[in-house]
Every structure is written in C-alpha cells, then in structure tokens.
A and B are shown apart, each in its own frame.
Chain A
Amino acid sequence: MRRIISMLMENEPGALSRVVGLFSQRGYNIETLNVAPTDDPTLSRLTLTTADSDLRIEQLTKQLNKLVDVVKLADLTEGAHIERDMMLIKVRAAGVARHEVKRTTDIFRGQIVDVGPEVYTIQIIGTSEKLDAFVAAMSDVDILEVVRSGVAGISRGEKVLSL
C-alpha cells in the first residue's frame, strides 16, 4: 500500500543522507521525497511516499525511528490527512493547442505562471493523482519539462506532528 511518512528531523549535516541511505540499505523504494525547514530552525520536516506491505512498512518506520537524527515520525496514511504535490509543467502551446492547454489548465484549477510565444509554463497543485491526471490530459500536447515537488502532507484536525 502507498504510504506517506512524515518526520521531524534534526537540522544537522548528514541527517538526510541517513534517511535516504536507510532506504537503499534495506531495499525500500522512495517514490517522492520532500525536505524543507520548519518554523523551528533546528528542525527539518521530511515527507516521503513509498509503497510496500504492511509488515515491511512497520519495519521501515521502526528503522527510521531508530535513526538518532529522527526526532518524530508519523505515517500520515494511518489517519485522515491532506496531501499536496506541486508541479511545474512546460508545454508547447502554439496554434490550436494554445487555447486547449489554457482550457484544461482552468479545469484543473492550475495557473499559467509563465508565457512565451510558443510555450506555457503551468503550475498545478493537488494530490499526486490529480497531477498524474493532468499529465495524462496533456497527452496530445508536446510536454517539454515536468518538475514536481514531491508530496507534502499534514494530518487533519487537531493531530499535529511536533515536539
């Protein structure tokens, strides 16, 4: 099953490599990975998505928790949560396609953030599924570049991942 694992990590050199290294060392796959600072400068928030059996995921979370740099960890998929992935996609937008791209972007509630005579750069935010759907909807268009942030996630309601 697909999981979103989110953790608070000491903002120390090498902390990220320990997390990433653990995946290759123990034979797990990372589908997406997102790391950024938080409101607390000593902590980074890392969110990753992976897919595996429940048993293997349990083992993985235990191993991640053992890393000294990992302060707290939660499997967001265990409860109600919000997930967002952000995509910047550059497509060839000339002739009839130019109008069609604009229309599809509106349907997906995306924004055209850069305009060239022949290209559009579109920003689109949502679940990974929605982003995949947008890319699929662009199948008749010449896609020049796709950049995705990877999933960031947070629990719904009062539940928080903090110290």
Chain B
Amino acid sequence: MELLSGGEMIARALEDEGVEYIFGYPGGAVLHIYDALFKDCKVPHILVRHEQAATHAADGYARATGKPGVVLVTSGPGATNAITGIATAYMDSIPMVVLAGQVQSHLIGEDAFQETDTVGISRPIVKHSFMVKRTEDLPIMIKKAFHIAASGRPGPVVIDIPKDLTRPDAKYEYHYPETVKMRSYAPAQRGHTGQIKKAAKLLLAAKRPIIYAGGGVLLGDASEQLTQLAKRLNYPVTKTLMGLGAYPGSDRQCLGMLGMHGFYEANMAMHNSDCILAIGARFDDRVTNTVEKFCPGAKVIHIDIDPASISKIIIADVPIVGPVQPVLTELLAQISLLREKDNSLPDQSALDLWWQQIEEWRAAQGLFTGRRYGESDMIMPQQVIQSLYRATKGDAFITSDVGQHQMFAAQYYPFDKPRRWINSGGLGTMGFGLPAAMGVKLAFPDMDVACVTGEGSIQMNIQELSTCTQYNSAIKIINLRNNNLGMVTQWQDMQYEGRYAMSTYEDSLPDFVKLVEAYGHVGMQVTKLADLDDAMDEAFAMKDKLVFLDVIIDPNEHVYPMHIAPNGSMKDMWLSKNERT
C-alpha cells in the first residue's frame, strides 16, 4: 500500500472522489495541503478573492450539477469568512464539503494565531462536521463527509484539519474506501407503501387538488416523475422559490411560484384547495403567511426525505418519509392500480370546475395576462427579465442575488428545466449571485449563465470580478439598477410610511461600466427601453466575455403580488401599491 502524507491524502482523496473543482484560498494552516495540490493533483483549484465567494461558487456548482461542491480554506478568518456560504448551503440543503485548516494540534485552545473553533462556530449550520485527530483517519473522514453531504437531505459538511496532520514528512498508508456505512446515519431509501396507498386514494378523491413542489424535487432528481404525475391527473402545480424548474414553468398546468411574492392564481388555488400534495417543500413562512389561517379546507399529503420537515409547521394528514423519486414512482403505480381495481379516477366534473376557476384567476390577475407592472418612461424591471428570457430562449442558467430583482427573475423567467434557477432562498444571502454564477459556468462552460443582481447585492462580492478575469468566466451580469435597496424601500413604503432609513447611497455608487472595464470585462449601460433588447442580444453574443449590463430601471416599481402580513392568509395579497384582494 502507498504511503502518503496528510496533505497528499487530501489531494488524492479528492481525485478518488471524482471532484471536478476545488474552490478555495490558501493560508498558513493549509500550506501543506496546497503544496500537495501543487505537486500532484488532477483537480483544478479556483482561487477566489474572498472565502465567502468560494462557498457560494461551490454552492452554485452543486446546485447546477447535483454533485457536492468542494471548498478549501485556512483556519481562523478563512473559516469564519466561509460561514455565510456554509449557512446559505445549509438552509437550501445543498451538498458541500468544506475542508478547513486548523492550527497545530498542540496549539488548539491556546488562542493561537488564526485559531478559531471552526467546528463550534459552524455547528448550527452544518449537516455534520469532523475534527481530524489522526492523519490515518483522513481518507475515511473525507469519504464519510461526501457520503453525508450528498445523501438523504443534502447539506454542508465541515472537516477541520490541524496543520500538523498534513505535514509532508509524516506518511501513512493510504486507502480510499469505495463505500462507507455508518450505524448512526441511514436516510430512508423508500416510502411506506401503506402511506403511499392512502395518499393515492386521497389524491383521487380531491375536488380542488394542487401540487405544491419544493426544492426537494430538484435535489431528489424527481422532476420527471412529478411531471408524469401532474400530467396523468391533470392537476395544477405550483412551485416554491426553491422549486422553480421542478415542473416546466411555461406549461399550462403550472400556476407559477406561490408565497409572499407568488402568482395570484397560485396563492388563490392553494388557499381554496381541498387537497395539497406537498413534495420536498417545507411550508416556509414565506409560503404560508399566517400559519393559523393557512389553507383552511385542505388535507395535506407531505412527501419529504427529512422526517423533521413533516408536520413541523403544518400538520400532515398523510406523512410520507422517503426520497421523492421512488415515492412518486410508487405513487404513480398505486394510482394505476386503483384505476385497474376500482376504476378510481379523478372526479372529472369537479376538476373541470376547478380549472375553470383557476383560469378565471389567471385571466384576471396573472402576471402574464392581467396588468402587473407599472408604466413610466423608464425601463421596468420586469421588462429586463422578459428581455433576458427572450435573448436566452428561456434556456440559460440564471443565478440571482437577493432582493426585488430576485423576485422579478423568479416571476418573469419561467424555468422549464430543473437546476437552472440558482438562488439563495432560505438564508437570502446578498452577494450570492456572482460567485454562484462562476461555479455554474465552470460546470457548464458552453451554456449561457446570467447573474441577475442589483447594485446593492453585486457590491457584496464584487471582488470576484477579478476571479472571473483569471478564469475567463464569461458570465453575463444583469444589474437591475434602481439606485436604492429595493426590497428594503418596498417594506419601508408599505410599513414605515416611506421613511427610507439607510436604503439609499446618495451619490456614492461607482461607475459600474468603468469598474468592470478596470477588471478587463465589458460594461454596457442601458437607459432606454428601445435599446434593451439589442443590448441584451449584444451581451449574449459575446460568448467569451464577461459582460456587465447596467440597466437603469424605474426606482419606484415594487414587487407584486405581495402577501399582506402580519395576520394575512395565503389569499390576502397586495396586487399593486393601492389594490388588494
């Protein structure tokens, strides 16, 4: 058997695990590891400009590919800078392995230079973490970390590695296990057949059914099964912010996103339904509005790999714990069985009435049918997203930052394919979009990758423009620029009588065109609607360039619909500044 140092073991284990990219930043505690990577490692390393960006880039890569993102940072500030990105991945259940250097074993606890309790600081925001005590344990711990990160409900795993365990002169036998079994970790492999039967009966008996699909459908690669189910039954589908793309967004049966800024027809259908099939969704407060008033007449079937997600917020009438893909496959089979045995079919006349009602809602207030945005001489943010959709033929990877632009993108870019919409839904991390787009572009170099952002969010990780220069990351940045922190001002308008406390920048914004040019990229500014489509096409025509499109939009436009909170139900929405349901 081969003898390797700790640093060499890490390099080799990442190769053996099939890792495609390491996102990281060197520093004292990881120098042995970096030296081993430099000398002999086939896995390319992407040098970011800030550790937060390393985690977001790995996260973007993971969301787009389904494979764990890999991060390598040093101890102390390296690890603490990574925390926001780890929390972002944790909240959205994204598989990630973070290797963090630590001070030498004998210095731990002595407040050594660049020492921090990484395992302690990250504890509430990781799926699991390991503190390596012996060099020989590195391969098995790395294997376990990848196994835990990617299986069950995915999530980030941190490995804390003291520097002395990676020193080049201490060599040990290396063996990378092909599989790993853990007595304390065994996520469900399939659902309970009895429960699935119950679900099938309840679904077929529904008169006003709705399928509520979340990010779990994407994480569990079950879009195909979901589509089959919805098509077979002709039931309407709504999706969470995290579930966009789980079911084709441009399909007739799709009611669009639900929740705080969800489509009118989606929120109305949820509120009035008598049976909700929740799949890989977690009844987040941004979906339910006031829990006590949530969908009063609905029975709830809830499929989730994580038992703790079921009946956490809304009690499930039929809970099903299991991976969504095999559960949906079995559910389809049970529905077929019921048809053969008892001739059970959905109640067609009830369903016709239900669809008629939904189409009425859609016609009256749908984003693409009713009037949903204001008119002025300026470009409206919704028009920018529609132009982006047109230019990319609806087939790009879209990452986003957090705020109004994120909601506009979620509303006006109907994602037809899974894993195309990459955003920080749970944690709502500004600064996510640009580094995430870098990660996606590395995974899919021939695809269009656009980051929809605002002048607030982009400045939270703008240093990554330099990383993009280094790796020729030809992403497109669409800056919806309204010169204020839009979502903050929206709330200030609605709940604080328009007092814009610290949500404007006065005259401090940089000239973004010059700024990106300074990094060697292309910058373009658009101020007139008439120029928008041409500029968008021109940007995407530059296949090998990063293009920053600075689009000056109407600063007064807000995101609608918007749930009325506090104390509102799903059907209570602002439809514009002065209309409400």
Contact = CB atoms under 8 A, between A and B. Distances in A.
Contacts of B308: 59, 62-63, 65-66
Interface centre among B182, B185, B315 (most CB of A within 10 A): B185
B124 interface: yes
B307 to A, nearest CB: 5
Contacts of B133: 13
Given A59-B312, A70-B184, A65 B307 contact: yes
A163 B311 CA distance: 28
A59 B283 CA distance: 15
A69 interface: yes
B39 interface: no
Contacts of B138: none
A18 interface: yes
Interface in A106-163: 163
Contacts, number: 39
Contact of A13 (B123, B131, B307, B311): B131
A83 interface: no
Q: How large is the interface on A (under 10, 10 to 19, 20 to 34, 35 or more residues)?
A: 10 to 19
A62 B184 CA distance: 14
B185 A68 contact: yes
Contacts of A71: 183-184
B162 to A, nearest CB: 13
Nearest to A18: B123
Nearest to B307: A62
Contacts of A10: 184
A17 interface: yes
A68 B184 contact: yes
Interface string A12-25: 01100110010001
Contacts of A25: 124
B307 A68 contact: no
A31 interface: no
Contacts of A14: 119-120, 123, 129, 131
A52 interface: no
20 contacts: A10-B184, A13-B131, A14-B120, A14-B123, A14-B129, A14-B131, A17-B123, A21-B124, A55-B311, A59-B311, A62-B308, A63-B308, A65-B307, A66-B307, A66-B308, A68-B127, A68-B182, A68-B184, A69-B184, A70-B184
Given A14-B131, A21-B124, 13 more contacts: A13-B131, A17-B123, A21-B123, A25-B124, A55-B311, A55-B315, A59-B312, A62-B307, A62-B308, A65-B307, A68-B127, A68-B148, A69-B184
